[in-house]
Amino acid sequence: MHGITDNDTATVVGGPSRTTGPPLLIVAHGSRDPRHPATVALLAERVRAMRPDLPVRVCHLEFNLPNPAQALAGLYAAGERRVIAVPLLLTRAFHAKTDIPGVLSREVRGLPGMRVEQADVLGPDLLLRAAMTRRLHDAGISPAHHAETGVVLAAAGSSDPEAIAVIAETAREWRRAEGWHAVRPAFASASPPTTADAVRALRAEGVRRVAVAPYVIAPGRLPDRILRGAEEAGADVVAQVLGDAPELARLMLRRYDAAGTGRVPRARRMGVPPGRGRLPGRLAVGSRRR
């Protein structure tokens, strides 16, 4: 595995003089719902509080500003020549595989010497399960009642088979780890079952208490659909979205650190500094796989 050299972390002349590593750029999806960017901003503040010397910036693919072009241009103007982009995504579906790499690659072409590395998505991870468990406890589920509680793991949904399989595996692992009576995946779009259908299925199996855990980061249209489905089917408890959970902030820093040290096989590298070739195991703009 190729290590990061002194040249990779060298201070740009006239740029920032620090030893904390490149800025962390949070890449959120964006939403017309104002609660979404507000929640992302709170999460970014929590990340900053955990690592005060690390520059943390936010951009949005759609609907909200700054967009990736504006965020990268601002960092470039401030003298930054290396950025680690952390997708605010829970699964590897279209946005992680195609949308974000395409946007970052396009925008970095106009910034000579700029290098952007895309970290892996956030899920699956033990920290996400821990955050969802805590959200359910906050909503009124006692740890003593796990064995009699059926949980609906309500995700946004995707047409990507890999993403659907990961959600199903997360449900199985969460049930085993926390001792829930059952954990059933559900989706707000693209794939069955709906949240309401999953709640009704658990009731039909005789589950005494049914809780819904939204496996989404910020409020918006799809989380609202999850809530309506839970209420329609008569769920006993509905947890809050992950939001600015400290577990989520710690996980983002883990993904940042792993990408920065080249420990993530899926990390992508956009842009090549002048005079440098492509690093082994990284995808550079203009390179071709053979």
* pLDDT above 70: residue 29: yes
pLDDT, residue 267, reads: 56
pTM of the model: 0.86
pLDDT tens-digit series, residues 72-121: 999 999 999 999 999 999 999 888 999 999 999 999 999 999 999 999 99
Lowest mean pLDDT among 7-21, 72-86, 210-224, 240-254: 7-21
Q: Which residues of 80-95 are buried (b: 16+ CB within 10 A; e: fewer)?
A: bbbbbbbbbbbbbbeb
| Mean pLDDT computed over 212-228 | 98
| Mean pLDDT computed over 132-140 | 98
| Mean pLDDT computed over 160-176 | 97
**In a 10 Å sphere around its CB, with 0-12 CB exposed, 13-18 middle and 19+ buried, how is residue 120 labelled?**
buried
**Residue closest to 83 by CA, chosen among 65, 59, 102, 99:** 59
pLDDT, residue 256, reads: 98
- Please report which confidence band the pLDDT of residue 55 belongs to, taking 50, 70 and 90 as the band edges: very high
* pLDDT above 60: residue 14: no
CA-to-CA separations, 247 to 14, 30, 43, 252, in angstroms, rounded? 36, 21, 10, 9
More confident: 43 or 9: 43
* pLDDT above 50: residue 57: yes
Lowest mean pLDDT among 50-64, 149-163, 234-248, 261-275: 261-275
Q: Which residues of 151-180 are buried (b: 16+ CB within 10 A; e: fewer)?
A: bbbbbbbbebeebbebbeebbeebbeebeb
pLDDT, residue 270, reads: 78
Lowest mean pLDDT among 137-151, 259-273, 276-290: 276-290
- Please report which confidence band the pLDDT of residue 17 belongs to, taking 50, 70 and 90 as the band edges: very low
* pLDDT above 90: residue 10: no
* pLDDT above 50: residue 15: no
Average pLDDT, the chain: 88
pLDDT, residue 12, reads: 29
What are the φ and ψ backbone dihedral angles of 89, each rounded to 5 degrees? Answer: -135, 145
pLDDT, residue 284, reads: 30
pLDDT, residue 262, reads: 82
Long-range contact set of residues 133-138: C-beta below 8 Å, sequence gap at least 24: 133/174, 133/178, 134/245, 134/247, 135/213, 135/239, 135/240, 135/241, 135/242, 135/245, 136/211, 136/213, 136/237, 136/239, 138/239, 138/240
* pLDDT above 80: residue 279: no
- Please report which confidence band the pLDDT of residue 266 belongs to, taking 50, 70 and 90 as the band edges: low
